[in-house]
């Protein structure tokens, strides 16, 4: 399931701070047992930039671990696992360089974010490599989702591809929830 990870162990001194942001053993203790394959980083010039809602379908579905290096975002994950008790529901959390929170998003969830500050930099680990043939998306402002984006469609900075994604009702059953340990079939 989706997890918000608080990084509370920051070591400050006269030079600044040191923070451990990834520790496989710590994540495993939280029930996150994922072997990450690739790291990605995005930079957005302006507040109000929306990226998503994106996901990859099997056989290259991706779990993600997202954090912000500079700025702030509203990070959103939507359950797209058909038959899941939380199908169509979303989690939205503010991630920032200041709060150092991370969001773990398992396979079977669409992911997107809106920048809340200019010059925002986002870093995320993914569990499988980028596979353009498996890349898909969900319309970010689908009324059925009712996600409280901090910017209107008219004022958002968003690419044409993301605006052309299907709604949840139009989305094929790429992921089917089996009820076994929260995994899809």
Residues belonging to the active site: 54, 124
Is residue 173 within 8 A of residue 82, CB to CB? The reply is: yes
**Cα(105)–Cα(76) distance, integer angstroms:** 9
Cα end-to-end distance, the chain, whole Å: 15
- Say which residues have a Cβ less than 8 Å from residue 143's Cβ, sequence separation at least 6: none
Neighbours of 19 (CB within 10 A): 12
Length of the chain: 185
Using only C-alpha atoms, the chain has a radius of gyration, in whole angstroms, of 16
Q: How many CB atoms lie within 10 A of CB 90?
A: 18
């Amino acid at each position: 399931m989706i997890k918000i990870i608080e990084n509370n162990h920051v070591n400050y001194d006269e030079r600044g701070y040191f923070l451990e942001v990834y520790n496989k053993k710590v994540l495993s203790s939280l029930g996150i047992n994922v072997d990450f394959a690739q790291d990605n980083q995005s930079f957005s010039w302006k507040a109000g930039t929306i990226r998503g809602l994106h996901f990859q379908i099997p056989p290259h579905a991706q779990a993600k671990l997202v954090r912000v290096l500079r700025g702030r975002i509203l990070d959103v994950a939507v359950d797209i696992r058909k038959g899941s008790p939380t199908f169509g529901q979303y989690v939205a959390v503010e991630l920032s360089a200041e709060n150092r929170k991370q969001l773990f998003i398992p396979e079977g969830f669409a992911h997107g974010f809106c920048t809340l500050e200019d010059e925002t930099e986002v870093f995320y680990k993914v569990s499988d490599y980028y596979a353009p043939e498996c890349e898909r998306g969900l319309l970010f402002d689908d009324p059925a989702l009712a996600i409280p984006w901090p910017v209107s469609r008219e004022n958002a900075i968003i690419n044409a591809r993301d605006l052309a994604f299907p709604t949840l009702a139009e989305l094929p059953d790429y992921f089917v929830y089996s009820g076994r340990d929260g995994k899809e079939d």
